[in-house]
Structure 1
Amino acid sequence: MKKIKKKKFAKLAAVNVLVASQLLLAACSNQNEQASGNSEVYDPESKVEVNWTAILHTASPPTDVVLKEIEEATNATIQFNWVPDASKEERITAALASGELSDMVSLTMLTNSSVRQSLKSGMFWDVEKYLDDYDNLKLISEDIRTSASIDGKLYGVPFQKDIARSGLLIRKDWLDNLGLKVPTTLDELYEVARAFTQDDPDGNGKDDTVGFGDRSDLRYSSFKTLSSYFGTPNGWAVDENGKFTPEFTTQAYKDTMNFSRKLYENGYLDQDFAVTAKTDQQQKFAQGKTGIYTGLVDIKNLKTMAQGVQDEMEIVPVNKIKSPDGEYHIWSENSGVGGLMAFPKSEVKTEAELKRLLQFVNDLIDEEVFMLMTGGIEGTHYELDENGAFKILDDDLWQKDVQPFSSSRPSEITHSLKDSDPSKQLVNELIKENAEFADLDPTVPLDSQTANERGTELQKIIIDATIKYIMGEIDEKGFDAEVEKWKNSGGDAMTKEYEEAYKKAQN
């Protein structure tokens, strides 16, 4: 990865022995400034150069227009090393293995075994004891800190997100064209998928639409959300005796597979989902090829992408599909933790450097910088109307200058905006409502050595088997055989380790 010259903090002068001794005495008197045998002094006002490996969720990196404003507001020079979301697993794990890291690394895959191993190895600073020294970082809740920790250590500043953001986006104009109501049950949702595929919802007289658009990532595709609607536990279930059960051994998971398989067999689910990336899934929806999209937060982006292509598009967000048990369920993404902004000890060598970088992250949470990373420059990219509602002035300009920064905001919950787009404002409200019936993954704050070493490899067994089942390439016996393979390859050991960690945490 491209390196930039490190910011050099004040060094002990050796020209004058007396001056050097006085500086050393002053530095040693402050216990908080001791780190790695180096007694540099942390200066929060100093300009800092930051080399940041961040995840890119858009097709192109941002221009420098807003970046310059962010740099001025944080007193920093920032060099982003952008990693496309589609290749983040390969790129991040390779960087961790090689040790070619930046001052700050966005680690968004906390369940990835390579990431967890690297965190546990001591490669990154434990920042827990420093957070309360900063006005924004000290507001990070104990629940989020706990969920982001491994063995009680917090190896980076948590990305703070809403606890559960999933749901469906459905073409409202297509529903109206076909005389259908917004679905509230799984049966109604299936009927919408069928009608969107077979009943010419766009009225062009062609057989060119599909109900569910989808992508290869089971976690953020329709499957995980559908599994919530069927009442599948989020990752694992734990009973009153502390016994852990993996989600894919439950009947609800199999019911979800059967539902998805039926959608696929009948053509109501994108036939190319297994090889479709997120950006392609978005394009298909924006171009009017699919009518159901999973992911509430993408509503404004999809509407923007559809401009000039599907100007008649209307989207209705849906966060409640009643489960067979009569209740509402939705899975939580890592209990409101979107990953960590981690600081490698190989690059951040002293406590003083760490503290200055933590000040930088703290400054990113300030409302001024939040608005820059969210909306851009007021009057150029956005405006606030007389009711204080947020409105983008130029979508194309906003996408080029601003949008790529949004996924790197340290907190999406510290500040809130009222959106001038009623549908986006509704999405914001539905996401808040999701917290009332969100299902948490009980293993998020727990550690398993097997999961750290082979978790990704084991997970791939189930992911591949699930996709093959949906596509009709294996039957239930074949899927059960893959579950047994998972158990024998380390799954049983992982289960036992989680149970032991859970018991320890309860005591």
Structure 2
Amino acid sequence: MKTTAVSLFLCASIVLSLAACDLYGADEGNQFSATYHAGDSKDEKDSNTYAHINDDGPFKKYEKPITVTLGRQGIAGNNLPNGDTLEDNEFLKYVEDRLNVNVIYEFSIEDVDDYNQKVSLAIANNSMPDMMVVNEQQFKEMAGADMLADLTPFYEAYSSPLIKDYYKSFSDDRVLNTGRIGGKLYGLPNTNIDGTYQLLWVRKDWLDKLQLKLPSSMDDVQAIARAFKELDPDQNGKSDTVGLLGDKQIVGDAEFFTFDPIFNQYHSYPKSWFKDADDNIVYGSTTPETKEALMKLRDMYKEGLIDKEFLTRKWQDNAALVSGGRAGILFAPWFAGWMLADSVKTDPKAEWVPLAAPLDGDGKRNVVPSAPSGTFLVVNKHAMHPEAALKMLSVEYEGIRLIDPKSHELYKDEIVSWLNYPLNVQLDFQDSLARDIPIYDKVLMDNDLQDMPARLIKRVNAILKNKKEPKQDITAFADSLAYYTGGAVTGTKEITKVDPIFYGTTETMVKKGTSLDKLENETFLRIITGAAPIEDFDKFVSTWKLSGGDEVTQEVAASLN
């Protein structure tokens, strides 16, 4: 995410970007407004059974104190109370006390670029601490330099069932395998959950005023954008409303206002890698389908169906159009509910609905799932206790997910970021968002919170409060609109996942990726806005190939062998 405002909404919802969410604290006590998920995916009532496991593995306390050293990214704007610090706080002490571990931070650096520079220096000097979280390129470099401990023999014995269940929820071990090299586990990857693709959010109260139906097709989207721009949907007698909002980034996972769903409707998947019908490896931004989608966007922009000023607007500008009642149709993920709720302050009758749209000719909303992982917890090859990484992570998540009753008292009734736990590794079930919807449905039906997982109590109370008194409490309304209304749509039958063949980064991507991305984005924007003819797309494809794209394609092919 590219703005602190967007990051705030992300941090209030799910685990997506450690760097972004360092800017803020958290909600619900420990975790990003925290999506606490504990327990077996088949039965939430058994969610607390993890806490009762008492074996010689993940929860076994060391008989004598041990010391582990960490290097980690700090927390910008940390909101710890009472003079607590990242190096001295209740979350850290909770892990230390349960395992008899003394954690020493060798370094803690807030700025992500400075942190990466420090990690690179540690790699160059072969001076890494016992543990730290690194990105993909750093992980591969450290593994290639034989700096990392092989965690294979420790994973089964020292990972809690919850940690294992998180990884198992991703089919075919596709997340855990990103931490394996040559069949050996050298890094514990974070997990990115499903559902961060864009939904179509529409002001239903405006549709009702204009006697329009909920959209499903691309034609419907265009008709509504046209009506919202031209027919005075707010009935204030002024020509002050816009059509579809846009963003100059054009596409991006978990982004607001981008045009991903329009590309996807044409079976175009920019910035992703696939195999075509002839089994050739293809970059999604260079396909004929992408050219077709660009022509559609060009036509829409020319007609004014897309906000004519989207090139110059920042994220905050678009959010202001929403809150000010000037925009009523946009693409954004489920957690946009927090932003959209602001419009109720201006117009209490504002009613936003999320939809899996536009659908393709087969009635499908095609989506590209998020990259399964992107960062890795690694352990120094010479660490005295490599298994401590798995034990600490296991204990930490008993606290983050409020499984251990003792964790309920940590910063009780205070908003403190979960990142103050020692290991800033984001883990969750792949379907974490969708699996909670039946719980909300049941609670709304019988108004019974008995046996409710502790992680959900605050959120469920917000949903119940909003049901009883709709829109009276904006915070409760926003939570309900995001977690419940928006979250439910991410699991609808129309959603069809189109899995890329490759998510990673190659050597040429690192060297030439910035220039290639710039070439792509500038060309696409010029085509959409009419500053360049559609024929420039073919020139872009040729230039992209000659400027490094062919090398990247070869590297992607080699990585799959």
Q: Same fold (TM over 0.5)?
A: yes
Question: CA–CA distance in 2 between the matches of 1:448 and 1:69?
Answer: 40
Q: What SS does structure 2 have at the residue aligned with 1:259?
A: helix
Cα displacement (A) at 1:210: 2.0
Cα displacement (A) at 1:245: 1.9
- 1:31-46 matches, within 5 Å, as none
Q: What SS does structure 2 have at the residue aligned with 1:242?
A: coil
Cα displacement (A) at 1:118: 5.2
Number of the residue aligned with 2:266: 230
Question: CA–CA distance in 2 between the matches of 1:191 and 1:331?
Answer: 26
Alpha-carbon RMSD: 4.4
Unpaired runs of 5+ residues, structure 2, are 1-18, 20-60, 97-102, 441-459, 464-479
- 1:75-114 matches, within 5 Å, as 75=96, 81-82=109-110, 104-105=132-133, 107=135
Contact 1:465 1:479 in 2 (8 A): yes
Number of the residue aligned with 2:231: 199
Confirm whether residue 301 of structure 1 aligns to residue 341 of structure 2. Answer: no
Bigger Cα displacement from structure 2, 425-434 vs 401-410: 401-410
Match of 2:194 among 163, 171, 177: 163
Confirm whether residue 313 of structure 1 aligns to residue 350 of structure 2. Answer: yes
Confirm whether residue 185 of structure 1 aligns to residue 217 of structure 2. Answer: yes
Cα displacement (A) at 1:380: 9.9
Match of 2:329 among 292, 299, 306: 292
Change in Cα spacing, 1:241 to 1:352, as seen in structure 2 (3 Å) is: farther
Question: CA–CA distance in 2 between the matches of 1:405 and 1:316?
Answer: 36
Change in Cα spacing, 1:121 to 1:43, as seen in structure 2 (3 Å) is: farther
Number of the residue aligned with 2:159: 134
Contact 2:202 2:354 in 1 (8 A): yes
Q: What SS does structure 1 have at the residue aligned with 2:247?
A: coil
Number of the residue aligned with 2:57: none
Question: CA–CA distance in 2 between the matches of 1:272 and 1:123?
Answer: 52
Change in Cα spacing, 1:118 to 1:356, as seen in structure 2 (3 Å) is: same
Confirm whether residue 74 of structure 1 aligns to residue 74 of structure 2. Answer: no
Contact 1:296 1:317 in 2 (8 A): no
Match of 1:440 among 485, 493, 499: 499
Question: CA–CA distance in 2 between the matches of 1:499 and 1:350?
Answer: 34
Question: CA–CA distance in 2 between the matches of 1:410 and 1:482?
Answer: 39
Contact 1:242 1:499 in 2 (8 A): no
Contact 2:377 2:425 in 1 (8 A): no
Number of the residue aligned with 1:479: 537
Number of the residue aligned with 1:410: 427
Per-residue CA deviation, residues 194-244 of structure 1 (Å, 9 max, x unaligned), is: 222222222223333223233333213422232112211461331465311
Number of the residue aligned with 1:260: 297
Change in Cα spacing, 1:169 to 1:134, as seen in structure 2 (3 Å) is: same
Change in Cα spacing, 1:363 to 1:303, as seen in structure 2 (3 Å) is: farther
Confirm whether residue 333 of structure 1 aligns to residue 370 of structure 2. Answer: yes
Contact 1:169 1:317 in 2 (8 A): yes
Question: CA–CA distance in 2 between the matches of 1:364 and 1:143?
Answer: 23
Cα displacement (A) at 1:488: 0.4
| One-letter amino acid of the counterpart of residue 339, structure 1 | G
Confirm whether residue 461 of structure 1 aligns to residue 519 of structure 2. Answer: yes
Cα displacement (A) at 1:461: 1.9
Question: CA–CA distance in 1 between the matches of 2:248 and 2:239?
Answer: 24
Per-residue CA deviation, residues 363-411 of structure 1 (Å, 9 max, x unaligned), is: 3433x41359xxx9799999xxxxxxxxxxxxxx86xx56999997422
Q: What SS does structure 2 have at the residue aligned with 1:329?
A: strand
- 1:364-375 matches, within 5 Å, as 364-366=396-398, 368-370=399-401
Number of the residue aligned with 2:33: none
Q: What SS does structure 2 have at the residue aligned with 1:214?
A: coil
Unpaired runs of 5+ residues, structure 1, are 2-40, 383-396
Cα displacement (A) at 1:106: 6.4
Question: CA–CA distance in 2 between the matches of 1:291 and 1:408?
Answer: 37
Change in Cα spacing, 1:494 to 1:381, as seen in structure 2 (3 Å) is: same
Change in Cα spacing, 1:311 to 1:473, as seen in structure 2 (3 Å) is: same
The count of residues paired between Structure 1 and Structure 2 equals: 426
Cα displacement (A) at 1:486: 0.9
Per-residue CA deviation, residues 74-126 of structure 1 (Å, 9 max, x unaligned), is: 3379997555xxxx6x667656666699964464xx6xxx6687567659747
Change in Cα spacing, 1:371 to 1:99, as seen in structure 2 (3 Å) is: same
With normalisation by structure 1, the TM-score equals: 0.68
Match of 2:176 among 142, 145, 148: 145
Same amino acid, percent of matched pairs: 20
Q: What SS does structure 2 have at the residue aligned with 1:437?
A: strand
Q: What SS does structure 2 have at the residue aligned with 1:427?
A: helix
Contact 1:209 1:289 in 2 (8 A): yes
Q: What SS does structure 2 have at the residue aligned with 1:290?
A: coil
Confirm whether residue 428 of structure 1 aligns to residue 449 of structure 2. Answer: no
Change in Cα spacing, 1:287 to 1:80, as seen in structure 2 (3 Å) is: farther
Contact 2:273 2:284 in 1 (8 A): yes
